[in-house]
Amino acid sequence: MNKNYITSKDIERRGLMFVLSSPSGAGKTSLAKKLIDEEQNISMSVSMTTRKARKGEQNGKDYIFVTTEEFKQSIEKNELLEWAEVFGNHYGTPKTEVENQLKEGRDVLFDIDWQGTQQLHEKVGQDLVRVFILPPSVPVLEDRLKGRGQDDEKVVKARMKQAANQISHWAEYDYVIINDNLEESLSELKSILHAERLKRERRIGLSSFVRNMIQKM
Amino acid sequence: MNKNYITSKDIERRGLMFVLSSPSGAGKTSLAKKLIDEEQNISMSVSMTTRKARKGEQNGKDYIFVTTEEFKQSIEKNELLEWAEVFGNHYGTPKTEVENQLKEGRDVLFDIDWQGTQQLHEKVGQDLVRVFILPPSVPVLEDRLKGRGQDDEKVVKARMKQAANQISHWAEYDYVIINDNLEESLSELKSILHAERLKRERRIGLSSFVRNMIQKM
């Protein structure tokens, strides 16, 4: 704070937890990947899971692979910010790693569903920024869900029901993006991230910056 | 809502009141002008005033020029969102015009000080978005205040005290921008505007859009 001239980036800030949720088929994974690629100071949250590592997956990078016993201990010790069981496997977000990133002014991106978001919301306050991504229409969503493989009608229908269930929670989010164009949606997502970084309450270095300034006036 | 395909811009939204405050010399007026020039669907709030029109000023465009008697009646009838007396002249924001713009999904930009902002904050709720613009340093602010003319030291000093008073209210704002670079600050201001437009609570057309979507799934 001894510099005469300061840029916005010099002000210490607290990182934010940037949550993206959507039904599958709405383009969330592409958006998350592009955002991480093109932005500084934000990275994906690394989940802990009990499922087996797939080929090429690195422990500690893609996931933290643990036994069911270890996972249950983490729950008991309250070490997870949120967790869920999906098809017999456990997935969860370790608290410590996220907390360290936020303290360093780094943002953490979460690709989680409404249940995980609700759990986060209960545990964290203003660090949380929740974005819901909607498809532009039902036919578009259906096309995207079909397009993933040669699945029969029954499977697609079940996925549509799952998507409807996910979408029904849109009103629990702070921002809503309608993904009718990937580049436009990415730009909207970046605006939200940039704006949220400028929120007064996150810029914890401002208070001393302004105090010093007023003293010299 | 009968279209199969919808873009984000088709969703009806409520406009927002975008407040910019800063000490004079922080670059607020340039930023406001550029923002209005480069963005759609946002315009300056037109104030009502008792001061005489200057050469070239248009009634109803630059200001609404009224008599002191008319101004006092507006206050009594609660027709103003905020008002102040500056050097014997009254300035205020008429409620109806702003309210109509917001309903049409148009944003209104306010170039007002902390006192006006506090009055707005008391009267309106989530329609208000408050941005405070800080200079990067005291020497920079001083240079800008001097640069406006050939004022003597005493005048500059008085302006600095006024600026310090204004700056002391920074913590009453939602966002803070440090204007060390006009283009960068403009881009930050745009991010805030774009993000705020994507806030769920403002997008009043989303509810029926999602309901229709889920019914078809």
Chain A neighbors of B210, CB-CB under 8 A: 134, 167-168, 170
- The yes-or-no verdict on residue B157 having pLDDT over 60 is yes
| Cβ-contact A195, A16 below 8 angstroms | no
Per-residue pLDDT, averaged over A83-94, amounts to 92
A204 interface with B at CB cutoff 8 Å: no
Q: Find residue A133's DSSP bridge partners.
A: A177
Among candidates A30, A133, A38, A33, which has minimal Cα distance to B8?
A: A133
d(CA B216, CA B181) in angstroms, rounded, equals 49
Copy the structure tokens of residue A50.
């009990």
d(CA A144, CA A188) in angstroms, rounded, equals 21
Is the pLDDT higher at A150 or at A75? Answer: A75
| Cβ-contact A198, B151 below 8 angstroms | no
> ipTM of the predicted structure?
0.91
Distance from CA of A53 to the nearest CA of B (A): 34
Report pTM.
0.93
What phi and psi values does residue A43 have, to the nearest 5 degrees? -145, 160
pLDDT tens, position by position, B123-151: 988 899 999 999 999 999 998 888 766 66
Across the interface, whether the CB atoms of B139 and A4 are under 8 A apart is answered: yes
d(CA A156, CA A158) in angstroms, rounded, equals 5
Among candidates B17, B14, B15, B16, which has minimal Cα distance to B117?
A: B17
Taking each helix axis from N to C end, the angle separating B153-167 and B138-147, rounded to the nearest 10 degrees, works out to: 130
Please report the domains of chain B, with CATH numbers, ordered by start residue: 8-45+105-215 (3.40.50.300)
Copy the structure tokens of residue A26.
């709405």
Among candidates B44, B154, B146, which has minimal Cα distance to B101?
A: B44
Q: What is the 3-state secondary structure (H, E, C) of B194-214?
A: HHHHCEHHHCCCHHHHHHHHH
**Sign of the C-alpha dihedral computed for residues A54, A146, A24 and A140 taken in this order:** positive
Please report the pLDDT score of residue B1 as a whole number: 41
Please report the pLDDT score of residue B148 as a whole number: 62
Per-residue pLDDT, averaged over B206-214, amounts to 95
Across the interface, whether the CB atoms of A213 and B178 are under 8 A apart is answered: no
pLDDT tens, position by position, A150-197: 668 888 889 899 999 999 999 999 999 999 999 999 999 999 999 999
Q: How far is CA A179 from the centre of its chain?
A: 17
Please report the pLDDT score of residue A2 as a whole number: 43
**Cα angle, residue A18 at apex, residues A176 and A79 outer, rounded to 5°:** 130
Selected residue of A176, A177, A186, A215 to mutate for chain B interface (largest B Cβ count, 10 A): A176
B18 interface with A at CB cutoff 8 Å: no
- The yes-or-no verdict on residue A4 having pLDDT over 60 is no
Per-residue pLDDT, averaged over A105-124, amounts to 94
- The yes-or-no verdict on residue B7 having pLDDT over 80 is no
Copy the structure tokens of residue B8.
């984000």
Please report the pLDDT score of residue B2 as a whole number: 43
Distance from CA of B61 to the nearest CA of A (A): 31
Copy the structure tokens of residue B78.
């609660």
Could you tell me where the beta strands, DSSP code E, fall in A87-208?
89-94, 107-111, 128-134, 175-178
pLDDT tens, position by position, B87-109: 899 999 999 989 999 999 999 99
- The yes-or-no verdict on residue B26 having pLDDT over 50 is yes
